[in-house]
């Protein structure tokens, strides 16, 4: 972002109020039968002057400058309203997932706010999934567990995002009340690395035992897709399936379904 922190804060606040943000939705499909499982909502900020600003840039900034709760509320409300407006999504039993920052999760009233968003938008809670990352899970473990349990009591499912990166190790994951584990492609990148292979095998075994769904994300090629299948993971997400879509794109995807493009010989 080409601005000072103060300018950026004003710009982001204005974007939040004035429609400068939107969501893109990336499909998640079952690896074996290609059925649609859900869509991850990813926030986008388009500034008229500088163009697209990526979430990796402005989410940490929003956390630092006290805007993350408002931003997170906007994302959850927008995604729920959108999901409630897609009859196909509900008929097919699929979900929309939203990323929740640790700062937002532990802000004190997260589950209450989520509940009123679900009521206002009339989205049945089983069609919503909340994705959380590692920091809070480690540093403020008890509070995190308490909040996640409150979220699950609403009927909303919980996913641990980016497992296998950073500190999100099996020991941490196994102490969290979760329904889904999301594994970045990197975690299964090299078959040659024994420690990585063992970690992945242990993770998948744990998930199967606990009836936790596993999603591999960032899958770009047929080969990576095959590797996810071989590792015993349930679902995949990534450009091999589809890039993030507009809301209209989601409606089309729900109607047409997904057909695996197969092996790309140029790979
Ligand atoms: P994430 O939750 O792990 O999301 C997956 C990221 O991988 C997305 O980046 C997505 O566009 C990208 N991706 C999808 N398919 C592929 C692929 O085949 N190859 C590669 N290389 N990348 C792929 P994006 O949208 O830039 O988001 C980055 C991160 O920002 C997200 O990682 C998430 O942690 C965070 N984020 C996004 N939206 C929100 C939000 O609404 N709230 C919060 N708190 N964080 C968000
Ligand atoms: Mg995510
Ligand atoms: Mg992720």
Closest CA relative to residue 210, chosen from 253, 172, 182, 180: 180
Which atom of ligand 1 is nearest the CA belonging to 240?
18
Which residue owns the Cα nearest ligand 1 atom 4? 42
Return left, alpha or beta for 127; rule: phi > 0 is left, psi -120 to 50 is alpha, else beta.
alpha
Task: Report the distance separating Cα 207 and Cα 179, nearest Å.
Answer: 9
Distances (CA, A) of 113 to 77, 80, 91: 10, 13, 26
CA of 176 to the centre of ligand 3 (A): 17
Structure tokens at 140: 């403020």
62 CA from centroid of ligand 2 (Å): 17
Question: Which residues, in sequence order, are bridge partners of residue 95?
Answer: 38
Whole-number pLDDT of residue 203 = 93
Closest atom of ligand 1 to 26 CA is 14
Q: Are 125 and 155 in contact (CB under 8 A)?
A: yes
Domain boundaries, the chain: 17-252
Instruction: Give the C-alpha separation, 97 to 43, whole Å.
Output: 12
pLDDT in tens, 53-111: 999 999 999 999 999 999 999 999 999 999 999 999 999 999 999 999 999 999 999 99
From the CA of 162, give the closest atom in ligand 1. 3
Test site for ligand 1: of 21, 23, 24, 55, most ligand atoms within 8 A of the Cβ = 55
Q: Which atom of ligand 1 is nearest to the CA of 98?
A: 41
The mean predicted confidence, pLDDT, of the chain is 93
Q: 185: which 2 tokens?
A: 């492609």
Ligand 1, closest atom to CA 75?
Answer: 41
Ligand nearest to the CA of 58: 1
Burial of 120-145, coded b for 16+ CB within 10 Å and e otherwise, reads ebebebebbbbbbbbbbbbeeeeebe
Q: CA angle, 182 as apex, 92 and 209 as ends, to 5°? A: 85
Ligand 1, CB cutoff 6 Å, lining residues: 26, 42-43, 54-56, 59, 72, 75, 99-101, 131, 161-162, 217-218, 220, 238-239, 244
Query: Could you report the per-residue pLDDT of 106-147, keeping only the tens digit for each?
Result: 999 999 999 999 999 999 999 999 999 866 677 788 999 999
| DSSP letter for each residue of 28-84 | EEETTT--EEEEEEEEEEEETTTEEE-HHHHHHHHHHTT-HHHHHHHHHHHHHHHHH
Does the domain at 17-252 match CATH 1.20.140.160? Answer given as no
CA distance 33 to 61: 40
pLDDT (tens digit per residue) in 197-219 = 888 899 999 999 999 999 999 99
Helices vs. strands in the chain: H and E counts, helices first:
12, 9
**DSSP percent split of the chain into helix, strand, coil, nearest 5:** 50, 20, 30
Instruction: Calculate mean pLDDT across residues 154-178.
Output: 87
Which of 15, 16, 99, 180 to mutate to test ligand 1, by most ligand atoms within 8 A of the CB atom?
99
């Amino acid at each position: 972002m080409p601005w000072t922190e103060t300018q950026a804060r004003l710009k982001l606040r204005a974007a939040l109020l004035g429609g400068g943000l939107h969501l893109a939705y990336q499909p998640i499909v079952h690896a074996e039968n290609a059925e649609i499982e859900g869509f991850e909502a990813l926030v986008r900020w388009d500034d008229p002057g500088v163009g697209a600003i990526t979430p990796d840039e402005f989410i940490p900034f929003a956390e630092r400058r006290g805007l993350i709760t408002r931003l997170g509320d906007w994302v959850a409300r927008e995604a729920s309203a959108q999901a409630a407006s897609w009859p196909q999504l509900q008929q097919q039993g699929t979900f929309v997932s939203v990323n929740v920052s640790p700062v937002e999760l532990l802000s004190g009233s997260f589950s209450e706010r989520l509940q009123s968003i679900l009521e206002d938008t009339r989205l049945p809670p089983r069609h919503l999934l909340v994705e959380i990352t590692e920091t809070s899970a480690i540093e403020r473990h008890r509070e995190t567990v308490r909040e996640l349990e409150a979220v699950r009591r609403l009927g909303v499912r919980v996913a641990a995002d980016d497992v296998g990166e950073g500190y999100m190790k099996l020991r941490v994951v196994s102490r969290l009340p979760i329904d889904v584990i999301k594994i970045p492609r990197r975690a299964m990148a090299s078959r040659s690395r024994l420690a990585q292979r063992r970690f992945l095998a242990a993770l998948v075994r744990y998930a199967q035992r606990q009836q936790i769904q596993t999603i591999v994300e960032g899958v770009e090629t047929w080969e990576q897709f095959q590797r996810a299948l071989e590792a015993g993971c349930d679902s995949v997400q990534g450009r091999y399936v589809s890039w993030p879509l507009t809301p209209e794109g989601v409606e089309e995807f729900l109607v047409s379904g997904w057909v695996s493009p197969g092996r790309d010989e140029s790979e």
